[in-house]
Amino acid sequence: MIEKVCPFHGIPTPEGKCMRKEFNEKTGTMEECLAVPKDSSTVYWCKKHKIPIFEKRCGCCEKEYDDNGAEIDLRNIEYIGTDVRPVFPEEQLLLGIIIDKNNPLALLGKSVWYNGHSYIIDGDKLKLSIEKLNSKSLEEIEEIKSIVEQYICLAGEESDEAFISNLDYSYFDSVIDDFVFANKFRFSQIEKEAIEHIQIWADKYDKKSRFVSFSGGKDSTVVSSLVVDALGSNEVLHIFGDTTLEFFTTEKYKERLKKTIRPAYFRTAKNRTKNFEELCPVYGPPSRVMRWCCTVFKTGAITDSMNKTFKNQTSVLSFQGIRKYESASRSKYDRDSDSSKIAKQKTVLPIFEWTDFDVWLYILTKRIDFNQAYRLGYSRVGCWCCPNNGSWSEFLSKIYMYDKYIHWRQILIDYAKQVGKRDPEEYVDSGNWKARQGGNGLEAAKTSILSYEPCAVENDTYNYELQQPINDQLYELFKPFGNLDFTLGNKLVGEVYVVDRFGNPVLILKGRKGSTTFKVTIKDKKHITEGKINCQITKFQMCCACRACESVCRMNAIKIIEDSNGEVSYYIDEMKCVHCGECINHFNGGCYMRKVLTIKRGN
């Protein structure tokens, strides 16, 4: 249900206020909770059938009443949390080992769910210390891993599956059957609304101007199914963003999905020129606030794929699986909006209001295929080493991707040593690397610093000392201000004019190629500021071909190419550029990587 819930205690407030009382140590009295209730999803538990239900009524109990008059006892219904997900037998196995390694299959005959805080086992709550689990020694991890491998093994390359499990699914399947039946009205409600929303937006775009953004996770899986049903055809373009850091289960799932739609309608967007591990020592590992990997390996690659697919189209419809309950930041999104990352993209979020409960209800009701990583216990599937992954995901990776985890841990330790951390292993194992900010200790960070001063003899003129010699790429970056005119300036001193559409000078650039001394005179002070010039100089010094600029250009005017030697070429097509300035203003300081590498002057 959607009810008012106390944000502090996480319980429904049917009387408009929280009924829990807390002991006040200062006054020595029990005091009422003063937290203001907020709208939230709520999930209840049917004690009789041992399943979670969306309403305070169980469809299975009601069927028994209709069939034989069995009494419905509302005392069998109790609140269990704001959301739940199913715990599959593979995760039940791991839990069993954690609880009692001598009885690993103990939970396979029970109804097991997870509410974000505790495991619900036949209605009883079990809270594990995930941090304590994740701090186990590698020797302890290997012992757990050896028991798991008695029941679960990796499948061969010829198999469609990522792994093979010999666990008994019979009881789990019976629980899921009851879960689906008991919540069939909720399923009908969410499916109908989502399909209608998709159809409304699809009617506004040509068939060749819309696609499903597919990640391999459960949310984009649901959106894919909904869009296919809504449009009545499996001829729906899917663009899969391969980050090169996918789970071992994702590649197998991607191949299975391709078989359900025509191969011509499934495309993979992948950055094939950059290597994630090689970039980590240069820019530092991604952190929660600086996930440069998303821009370099996802947004840029998808933009390139879209430009090739949709060519000169300036507006494309993208159906995505983003949900507001995933995170606090995503709760602030609009359900339908222009993309902040890819300018030509209109994003529509059909399941924006859905909870995990809803997503799994849809998947299990429709019996559609999904990524096997969820069977192992992962709650989210994206990049396997993402800094946003929780401790449980990290623990699972030690079990199921042990070699990869050890390798990744060493990369993090090497980075910690590189930037001078006192205790590199503690820095990594404590998770402090996930919170890092800025580029302190990194050589590449020095490019974020501009060296310039106002000219003492010319008004509105600035002298720059660049960190690399002047070349053609520098002039390309001034095209958003106007057209380059190499005939007006003094060629002997490398003078180039930037003019507006009427031929009036807006900027004068001066500097010989090969030199690092560069002078800029602003003639159009109404539209061009010192800050905007700094943005482009920053871009010249820092460009690493992350392709963020390409993504924000609605006109497809920007093309960034990196050759096999790492040399970056930045081109702006004057025939396409409309001088809107979005590529200048979109990123703080002009360049996305400036945020990643920014340091204080002198560091």
- pTM assigned to the model: 0.88
Average pLDDT of the segment spanning 46-71: 84
Average pLDDT of the segment spanning 392-412: 95
In tens, the pLDDT along 532-579 reads 999 999 999 999 999 899 899 988 899 998 887 778 889 999 999 999
What is the reported pLDDT for 339?
Answer: 80
What is the reported pLDDT for 112?
Answer: 98
Average pLDDT of the segment spanning 111-128: 95
Interstrand relation of 119-121 and 112-114 (parallel, antiparallel or unpaired): antiparallel
Task: Measure the CA–CA gap between 52 and 60, rounded to whole angstroms.
Answer: 11
Q: What is the mean pLDDT of the chain?
A: 91
Comparing 53-62, 333-342, 507-516, the range with the smallest average pLDDT is 333-342
Task: Please say whether the beta carbons of 413 and 424 come within 8 A.
Answer: yes
Q: What are the boundaries of each domain within the chain?
A: 209-353, 444-597
Share of the chain above pLDDT 90, in %: 69
Comparing 249-258, 279-288, 300-309, the range with the smallest average pLDDT is 300-309
Q: What own/partner pairs with CB < 8 Å and gap ≥ 24 does 334-340 have?
A: 336/201
Task: Measure the CA–CA gap between 8 and 525, rounded to whole angstroms.
Answer: 53
Task: Measure the CA–CA gap between 267 and 306, rounded to whole angstroms.
Answer: 10
Comparing 66-75, 328-337, 418-427, the range with the smallest average pLDDT is 66-75
105: pLDDT strictly greater than 60: yes
What is the reported pLDDT for 409?
Answer: 96
What is the reported pLDDT for 603?
Answer: 44
Q: DSSP string covering 232-267, please?
A: T-S---EEEEE-S-B-HHHHHHHHHHHTTS-GGGEE
Task: pLDDT band for 381, please (50, 70, 90 cuts).
Answer: very high
Task: pLDDT band for 72, please (50, 70, 90 cuts).
Answer: low
Task: pLDDT band for 69, please (50, 70, 90 cuts).
Answer: low
Q: Please report how many Cα atoms fall inside a 13 Å half-sphere around the Cα of residue 316, on the Cβ side.
A: 30
Domain 209-353 coded CATH 3.40.50.620: yes
Q: Please report how many Cα atoms fall inside a 13 Å half-sphere around the Cα of residue 603, on the Cβ side.
A: 18
What's the alpha-carbon Rg for the chain, to the nearest Å? 28
What is the reported pLDDT for 489?
Answer: 85
Beta strand spans in 458-580 (E): 461-465, 483-485, 495-499, 505-510, 517-522, 558-562, 568-572
In tens, the pLDDT along 158-187 reads 899 999 999 999 999 999 999 999 999 999
Average pLDDT of the segment spanning 40-57: 92
Q: How many residues does this entry show for the chain?
A: 603
Task: Measure the CA–CA gap between 7 and 17, rounded to whole angstroms.
Answer: 11
Backbone φ, ψ for residue 414 (5° rounding): -60, -40
Q: Tokens 């600035």 identify what position? A: 462
Q: Which residue did the predictor score with more confidence, 578 or 2? A: 578
